[in-house]
Amino acid sequence: MPMLPQRSRLSVLVFLLPPLALYGIAVLLPIFQSLFLSFFDWDGISPMLFVGFENYVRMFTGDTVFWIAFRNTLGYVVICLVLQLGGALIVASLLTLLRRGREVVKTLYILPAVISTVAIAFLFQRIYSLDPEGLINQVLEFIGLGNLQNAWLSDVSTVLAAVSVPEGWRFTGLYMLIIYAALLAVPAELEEAAKLDGASWWQTFWRIRFPYIRPVWITTTIIATTNALRGFDIPYLLTNGGPGQSSELLTTYMYKTAFTSTNYGYASTISVFVVVECLVAVGLIFLLLRRKADA
Amino acid sequence: MNTTRTRLALAATVATIGLLLSGCSGGSSGTSDPTDVSPEGEIVPREISWLLSRPADGGVITAMEQIADEYAKDHPGFALNLITTPDRPSYIQKYETLAAANKLPELFDTDATPFAQKLASQGTMMDAEALLKDLGVYDDYRPAALNYQRFDDGSLYMVPFEFQLEFFWYNKALFQQAGVEVPKTLDDFPALCTKLRAAGITPIALDGQDQWPLERYMAYYPFRTAGPDYVQQLKKGDAKLSDETGEQAVQWLSDLGSAGCFQDGFSSTGYSDAQASFTSGKAAVYNIGTWELNSLATDALDPSVRDDIDYFTLPVTTDSVTAANEYVSPSGIGMAVNAKTYDPLVRDFLSFALKRYPEVYAATGALSPTTNVQTTIPDNATPLYQRAVDQANDVGEKTAMPWDTQLDPTSNTRLQQELTLLLQGEIDPDEFIGTMDGVIADNGPKAFQ
C-alpha cells in the first residue's frame, strides 16, 4: 500500500474523527451508562440507591420471567433466522434461474421491509384473528380444515411462532437481495466446469456456489441474528408479551421493567445482558462459520 | 460489523441514555409550596400545556378547548396546548419519563398510582383539595368522583373531569333465546355462561388485549365479599390471595374460565372488536362504562339490536358487604397541577375553567363529576340513555376501585398476565395464587412504604 503523504494522512484522520466521536457518544457512552445504572436501584424520581450486584443476582437466580423471556428470545431468533436466511437463500437461488421478471420479483419481496412496523402488526393482527375470522382461519375453513381454526395469538403454544413469523417474513426480501448479489458474483465458468465434470445441481450449489458466498453469508447471518435478538416492535404491538409470558422477549421485558415498573436499574441490568448476549452470538457465528471454512 | 454493533447497542441502551442524562436534574422538588394555592402577583397570559391521556375528539378535550378559547378572548396571549396520548401505556411512559427529567408541563394527567404519590410527596403537585376549596368549587363535586382520585391516606392531588358508571350491558333477545335471566349474584355467572354457550352464543365480549377489562373481574368478587379495603391491604402485602376472600375470588374467575364466559381468543381481541361482537348481536353481555353511551344508547346502535339492549349493575354475593348500588364508578384519569409552574395565571385559568367546565361538558351528553348541572340527553338517544344518566344519582358511597390503579406496576403487570392464563385454563387457581402472592410480597410493600 502506498504511503499517504503527511498532509493527507492528517486529513483522513480529521475526517475519521467526527464519526468516531459520534459512535462514542451514541453507542459506547450509553453502554457504559447502562452498566453504571445496573448497579443501582432507581425509579427515575427518587435518589439513586447503590445495590452492588443485587440486580445481577436477582436476574440470574430469582427472576423466572427473565429466563422465560430468554428462552422465548432464542426461539424467536431461530424462527426469524430460518425464515430470513433459509427463505432468502432459496428465493435468491431461484431468482438466478429466472430469465424474465427478476426486478418485479425482487421488488415484491423487498416490499414488506419498507412498510411501517405498526402497519405490519395491524395486518397480522387481522391475519391471525379468530373472531372476526382472519385470513388464516378463513383459508383453513375453505380447504376443509375448519377444525384446525385457532386464535393463533391467544394460544400459548402457537403465539411465539405467530409473533416471530411477521418479523422473519418482513426482512426475507432484504437478505435475499444481499445473497442474490453475492450469487451473481459467482464466476459462471466455475459452475460450467463443474457441470462438465458431471456435478449435480446440488453439488454445484454446495461445493461451488456456497463456499463462494460464505463471507457474505457470515455477514448476513450476523446482521440477521443481532436484528432478531433485539426484535421488539412486532411482538410488543401484537401481544405485548402475552398471553402470560408466552411471547415475552428480553427486549419487551426490559421495556416493561423500565417504563411500566419504573425500575431503571434492573432494566439496565437486562440491557447489559442483551449487549453481552449479542456479542456472544456474533462470536459464536464467527467461530462456527470460520471453522467450517477452514475445514 | 461496526454498524451492526452500533445498532444493537443503540437498541439495548436507548431506553436509558436520555433518562440518565436527565436524571441529574430529576427528583428536585418544585419551587412553590404545594399548598399555596393563591399566590400573589400579576396575571400574565402565556401558553400553558396539559399533557393528557384522553380521546382526541372526546368530551373533555372538546369542552376544554372551548373554555380555553373563551378565556383567551379576555386574556390575549393565553393559549392552552393540549398534548394527548390516548393509549394509556404509551402515555404513562411519556409522563414518567418527563417526570424523571423534571420537565412536566403546567397540567398533567395521572391516576392515583404509587408513582404519583411519590411525586406528590416530593412537592411536585399542587394540593387539589386546597385548590378546589379556595376556588369555591369543592362542594360541587360528587364525593365518589373525588374519592376515586384520592391517595390511600385520603389526600387529594388530582382533579376529576368525568364521572362514569360501569354496567353489564346485555342483549335481552339473546338471554331469552338461551333461557337465562339477569344474574342475581356473581355466583350465577358461570351457569349463565354455560347456558349461553350451549345456545351457541358468545356469553361475554371481552377486550382482552388492553388487560384492564379482564382485571375488572378480579376486583368484583372481593369488593362484594370484603369491601373496598381488601385491595388496599392486598397491595401492601397485609392481605393475601390465599386468604378466604382471595381464594373465593380466584375460584370464581377460574369458574368463569371453565364455563367459557369469554369469547375464544379473547386475549388477542381488541377494544373495537369486542364492542362490535356485542353490538352486532353476537355476544350477550358486554361490561363497559357510560363513556360508551353514544354507541350503546343512541341510534348509532345497529337497528337489529337497538331495542334488545339493556343493562344491569354489578351483582352482589350472598354475604355481600357492599350494597347493590355500589360498583365501579370511576372519575377517570385525574389532572394534576404542577407546583413548579403554578402561578397567578394558572390559578386564574383553572378558576375560570373549573367553574365553566361542568356546564360545557354536560352539554355534550356526558356525566359531569359535579352535581350542579344536568346532562343534556342527545336527540338521537334511546330511553336507556336517560336511565343510565339518572342512575348516577343513585350511586352508593363505596366505589370498587379498578385494581390497575391500585397495585404497584410490577405486580399489576404480572397480575394481568396471570389472569389471562387462569381464564384460559393454562394454570389452576393454586398456581395463580402462589405466583401472585409471591410477586406482591416482593414488590408491594416496597412500593407503598
Give this complex's ipTM: 0.87
Residue type, A114: V
Give the containing element (helix H, strand E) for B145: helix B143-149
B145 in the same domain as B119: yes
> In order along chain A (295 residues), what is the average pLDDT of each group of 10 residues?
67 89 92 94 89 94 93 95 93 87 88 90 92 90 90 93 94 92 89 86 86 90 92 92 93 93 93 94 87 60
CATH number of the domain enclosing B136: 3.40.190.10
Is position A173 within any domain? Answer: yes
Using CB atoms, which residue from A131, A226, A262 is nearest to B115?
A262
Is position B7 within any domain? Answer: no
Is position B176 within any domain? Answer: yes
B174 in the same domain as B144: no
Is position A38 within any domain? Answer: no
How many angstroms separate the Cα of B272 from the Cα of each of A132, A170, B116, B174, B305?
11, 27, 30, 21, 17
B196 in the same domain as B181: yes
Is position B172 within any domain? Answer: yes
Is position B2 within any domain? Answer: no
Q: Which three cell numbers stand for residue A143?
A: 380447504
| CA pair distance A138, A145, nearest whole angstrom | 10
CB contact under 8 A, B265 and A262: no
Is position B191 within any domain? Answer: yes
B252 in the same domain as B283: yes
Using CB atoms, which residue from B19, B413, B421 is nearest to A256?
B413
Contacts of A258 (CB under 8 A, 6+ apart): A264, A267, A268, B15, B16, B19
Is position B177 within any domain? Answer: yes
Give the containing element (helix H, strand E) for B132: helix B128-134
Q: How far is B322 from chain A (nearest CA, A)?
A: 32
Chain B, 408-447: which have a CB under 8 Å from a chain A CB? 408-410, 413-414, 417-418, 420-421, 424, 426-427, 443
| CA pair distance B297, A46, nearest whole angstrom | 47
B350 in the same domain as B425: no
State the Cα angle at B389 between B388 and B390, rounded to 5°: 90
Contact A124, A212 (CB under 8 A): no
Using CB atoms, which residue from A27, A48, A153 is nearest to B268?
A153
Shortest CA distance to A285 belongs to which of A293, B23, A105? Answer: A293
A199 at B interface, C-beta within 8 A: no
Is position B26 within any domain? Answer: no
Size of interface A-B (CB pairs under 8 A): 184
CATH number of the domain enclosing A71: 1.10.3720.10
Is position A69 within any domain? Answer: yes
| CA pair distance A93, A89, nearest whole angstrom | 6
Q: How far is A38 from chain B (nearest CA, A)?
A: 10
Chain A CB contacts of B4 below 8 Å: 222-223, 226, 282
Shortest CA distance to B437 belongs to which of B249, B198, B208? Answer: B249
Whole-prediction pTM value? 0.88
How many angstroms separate the Cα of B420 from the Cα of each of B250, B277, B357, B417?
12, 20, 39, 6
Is position B411 within any domain? Answer: yes
Domain that holds residue A94: 47-294
Chain A CB contacts of B414 below 8 Å: 65
- Structurally, how many domains does chain A consist of? 1
Domain that holds residue B316: 166-328+400-447
| CA pair distance B259, B188, nearest whole angstrom | 11
Contact B418, B389 (CB under 8 A): no
Is position A16 within any domain? Answer: no
| CA pair distance A197, A171, nearest whole angstrom | 37
| CA pair distance B203, B422, nearest whole angstrom | 18
Is position A26 within any domain? Answer: no
- Structurally, how many domains does chain B consist of? 2
B158 in the same domain as B176: no
Residue B353's pLDDT is 96
> In order along chain B (449 residues), what is the average pLDDT of each group of 10 residues?
42 41 38 78 93 92 95 95 91 91 94 91 94 95 92 94 96 96 96 96 94 96 94 94 96 96 93 94 96 92 92 95 94 95 94 96 94 93 94 88 92 95 95 96 89
B227 in the same domain as B143: no
B423 in the same domain as B274: yes
B63 in the same domain as B158: yes
Residue B14's pLDDT is 41
B369 in the same domain as B295: no
CB contact under 8 A, A230 and B264: no
Chain B, 255-274: which have a CB under 8 Å from a chain A CB? 263-270, 273
- B435, closest residue in chain A (CA to CA): A64
B281 in the same domain as B262: yes
CB contact under 8 A, B17 and A264: no
Is position A33 within any domain? Answer: no
The DSSP 8-state label assigned to residue B267 in this structure reads: G
| CA pair distance B265, A137, nearest whole angstrom | 12
Is position A27 within any domain? Answer: no
Residue A2's pLDDT is 55
- B411, closest residue in chain A (CA to CA): A261
B266 in the same domain as B121: no
